[in-house]
Chain A
Amino acid sequence: MRRRGAVSVDWMLVAAALLLSMYGVAIVYSAGQTDIPTFVTRIWRQQVLWFGLGLVGAFAVSRASIRLLEWVAIPLYVGTLLVLSYLLFFGGGSGTAEGTKSWIVIGGMKLGQPSELAKITVILMLGKVLAASKSPPKSLLDLWKPALVVGIPWMLIIGQPDLGTGIVFLGIFFAMLFWSGISWRLLLLLASPIVSLILGGVTQLWGSWFLLMLALVIWYKPYPWEGAVFVVANVFTGVVAQLIWDRLRPYQRARLLTFLDPSADPRRAGYQVIQSQVAIGSGGWFGKGYTDGTQKRLSFLPAQHTDFIFSVVGEELGFLGVTVALALFVVFFLRVVRVAERASDSFSSLVAFGLLSCWFTHVVVNVGMTLNLTPITGIPLPFFSYGGSFMLSTWIGIGIIIRIAHEGRGGRHASGMV
């Protein structure tokens, strides 16, 4: 018997998310178990509370039809832009990012970080825009709408400044373009200036990349002005930015880096990464035992309850714990890909894929950061890092995924009902 309004649930997906959340809360608890107790010792209770709120939020959202979500996308998006602009003037900082303006602060109370929820509303809006056209964007000109949808909130968030969330937005943008069926050549051209920026330091590498780009431009045969835009952009990010950077004095560079990301104080960041690597490396196969990490206990680990929480996993539960965590993430991601693939319409499909890309960027950048593979930008790890807004927004996203799965192929006939 099926109750009215009941929603079929992809139990495998929900089980993976639940296990990850419980794993995360257990690690937040452990992160607080230091020789000298600090406020971190008690925050696991708040995290449990937010987890509970997240479950309620996910349940509520899964009751809302996708058409309703599509309908509220525009007002939510406009509201998000208003809140983000408000933050630029009245926002507050917190933790390692004391100087930023990412928190809503009312009467001294830190209420939350709207940029977490902004990720979801931007995904909804971008999904709506991309789904509206029958065919995927074919040239730069076709891209102005999606670029604007992501670009405005992106600027507002970079202005906070919050480079980490900015990177996540880029990940979402490129992933959703890819999912909309854009030609891979155009995607590559779009991403090329960023690659140029990274390779700009080494002349030979950048030179080869630039030749490759030129070949691609000629082969792809875009409009002449379009090709020119790409070439100029690559030259700028690869050569001019590098020249400017070289001319800066060390303190100016540090200031620029600190401006882009306040937590990325080079010396301090280096210290953090070394401590994180020491903690993870000394974990071995099975780790030092739950709550018994020596680096963590002595508070050598920086931000061990937020950005560097995965170092605690590595130190205390070893390679085994890391593998289990990453495997759970993979299961979770594969289920979400499946949902996006089987969605009933293009909007739902794009939204599911957007959420996937958002979480995936978070996981790769955060986990990579603990081993010095990716830049330290202060991106939290979904399900693990302590933080109310983030836990809540993650579970609201899962609620949306559940709904999309329900309305998609195979959903309504599944056995489990909630």
Chain B
Amino acid sequence: MNFHPNDVVRRAQVTVYVGTGLVLVLLIAFFRAQIMGYREWVLKSETNRLREVPVAAPRGTIFDRNGKIIAENVVGYTVSVLAQSEDSLRSTLARVGAKVPLSQTQLNQSVRRYRSAPNRPTQIFGDASFEVVSVLEEHRVDFPSLIIQSGPKRHYPNGPAVAPFVGYTGDVTEGELAEARYAQYRAGQIVGKVGLEKEYEDRLHGREGSRFVEVDARGRVVREEGAQERKALQADSLLTNIDLDLQLHTAKLFGDSLVGGAVAMDPNTGAVLALYSAPSYDPNEFIGGVSFSYFEGLRNNPKRPLYNKAVQGAYPPGSTWKLATAILALQEEVITTESKMPQECTGFYYYGDRAWQCWEKAGHGKLTLLGAIAKSCNVYFYQLGLKLGLSRLVAGGVQLGFSKTTDIDLPEETRSRFPDRLAYFNERYGPRGWTQGAAALNMAIGQGDNAQTVVNMARFYSALATDGTAARPTIVHRRPERTRIMNLTSDQMRDLRAAMAGVTAEGGTAASAALTGVVLAGKTGTAQTSALVPGKKACDDAWFVGFAPADNPKIVVSVVLECGGHGYLAARVASEMIGKFLGVKPVLRILTEGDDN
């Protein structure tokens, strides 16, 4: 560059003149606007005539794996009012209420909506019926500030059957608006509240459009600038792994009487084929604002329909957890698959100052590990638990993923309860309140401080069904993620699967759940939860977790039935689900009713 001092000084002068000149221009512009144009702009700020009327974007369609619709958009009508003040809103509402039915709840809701977004049109009816719309259109001249719009409305063709995973949508709340996740949202917009609708909100919400209407000082719509509207954009579709036929079948199996949860997934990819929680609810009732009576009905239902029993409910896994004990013992080389325990099963095992029972009062006699799995012999596993010791059970259980979530793509999922270290027992019961031995005995048969979600047991069994790697369950289609959680030889894996196939064979604990032509491998469980849940009726929850075909698993199913009593009842549900998916029929024979655990 030319760095001669004289030239630099000259250029600096030019810079100062040009720069100061430009800033002066800005200052003059501000003077013109703020001082000379003051009156005009103040008037505009008081009336602020141009109002932006948002045009809702259609949410993305949700499909099942075969392209069947799980959630779609249909045409609905919204009625809103451009109010200048709360008083004018109330008077409009009173006049609207004289023409069409308007409940006190809807009235209060509208006032709340107005307070949270005074410069947006206040919605009165989120989903107005055709009658309401036609009456209001008829009296159009009486309501100049009313905006009646047709727009997309969420619809779930198979409402209650898919609600447990798809969830529903609703108005964004003030609490949500304060979260960083909803930073770009404004009051009055619709967001996913539960399930996939919430988890994939970012992908589903689309882009809101807007049109502009000019209103006079009293909020009456003077002119609509329809041509200037900004189109709303629908979001891309969401492709899920769900098999809608299987999902519907599962919902039918639970019917109106059974209470519990079920998860079916592909053990190789983690693709969730079905996920159900019973009783369910109708998500369509929530669209456009849920009625007070419907919501109270759900809330006061003792079977808790809004509580997702597949991913939120944690149940002691009972005997389904015996496989974990067996895997840990084999991995630590404490035993082999052919090992027998010192004491044969006589229906009791004496430890400490009490007799620990086996569910079979008559006793199972001398069993190998594989036999003990097929018969679900408690006495065998009591001794195995003692051999292994509590610390290895706890550390191994953590390794197998029992203290974690599965990271399924549902926001409701809760962490399964499992002691993550030995110190847990001291914290919970005090140093003298427990003994290692008794805790190990309980843990070995899946009782005690162990409560698992249905989906986490499905994840664990997906490792048994494959080569020891557990798949992360995913509802929406994406790249499979697998983690190795156990290290057994392929022979050992094969033997364990054979033992589990014995469960549904003649003489097994779930013989009635067998399928024609396909071997179903699995494990029943009966969990004593009455003591854990305060106020709950004393009853046993039934578990079944299994997969089929046993030699080349295509589907793993995990089922819990609250107060289901015997595990074989859950097995019947699971077997029906697997049969539906694989296209085979369950053998409907009521044979020796295995009384599990």
Contact = CB atoms under 8 A, between A and B. Distances in A.
Interface stretch (B179-187, B483-491, B519-527, B579-587): B179-187
Interface residues of A, number: 64
B191 to A, nearest CB: 15
Interface centre among B15, B117, B230, by most chain A C-beta atoms within 10 angstroms, is B15
A341 interface: yes
A42 B379 CA distance: 61
Contacts, number: 145
B94 interface: no
Contacts of B8: 341, 349
Contacts of B184: 95, 98
A364 B35 contact: no
Nearest to B181: A39
A368 B26 contact: yes
B26 A299 contact: no
A39 B30 CA distance: 30
B536 interface: no
Nearest to B211: A267
B538 interface: no
Contacts of B2: 135-136, 180-181
A131 B38 contact: no
B1 A299 contact: no
B31 A278 contact: no
Nearest to B47: A278
B347 to A, nearest CB: 55
Interface string B36-50: 011011101100101
Contact of B38 (A95, A284, A295, A346): A284
B171 to A, nearest CB: 14
A280 B34 contact: yes
A359 to B, nearest CB: 11
Contacts of A185: none
Interface string B1-13: 1110001110110
Interface in B40-95: 40-42, 44-45, 48, 50, 52
Nearest to A180: B1
Contacts of B26: 326, 364, 367-368, 371, 373
Contacts of A318: 34
Contact of A364 (B22, B40, B117): B22
A267 B230 contact: yes
B34 A271 contact: no
Given A282-B42, A299-B119, A349-B3, A271 B52 contact: yes
A324 B29 CA distance: 15
A133 B2 CA distance: 9
Contacts of B183: 38-39
Interface string A112-139: 0000000000000000001101011000
B16 A337 contact: yes
Interface stretch (A19-27, A80-88, A238-246, A328-336): A328-336
A342 B333 CA distance: 81
Main secondary structure of the interface of B (DSSP, over half): helix
Interface in A339-377: 340-341, 345-346, 349-350, 353, 356, 360, 363-364, 367-368, 371, 373
Contacts of B45: 278-279, 281-282, 294-295
A371 B31 CA distance: 11
Contacts of A179: 1, 11, 15
Interface in A274-333: 274-275, 277-285, 294-295, 298-300, 314, 318-319, 322-323, 326, 329-330, 333
Contacts of B44: 278, 281-282
A39 B179 contact: yes
A178 interface: yes
A416 interface: no
B177 A38 contact: yes
A371 B15 contact: no
A36 interface: yes
B365 interface: no
Given A181-B11, A278-B44, A373-B29, A271 B1 contact: no
A37 interface: yes
Given A179-B11, A346-B1, A282 B38 contact: yes
Contacts of A294: 45
Contact of B41 (A38, A268, A278): A278
B150 interface: no
12 contacts: A36-B116, A36-B117, A39-B177, A280-B33, A294-B45, A326-B27, A329-B23, A349-B1, A356-B15, A360-B19, A363-B23, A368-B26
Interface of B: 1-3, 7-9, 11-12, 15-16, 19-20, 22-23, 26-27, 29-31, 33-35, 37-38, 40-42, 44-45, 48, 50, 52, 115-119, 174, 177-180, 183-184, 186-187, 210, 212, 228-230
Rank and list the top 7 A-B pairs by shortest CB-CB distance, nearest first: A281-B41, A181-B2, A180-B1, A282-B45, A341-B12, A346-B3, A319-B34
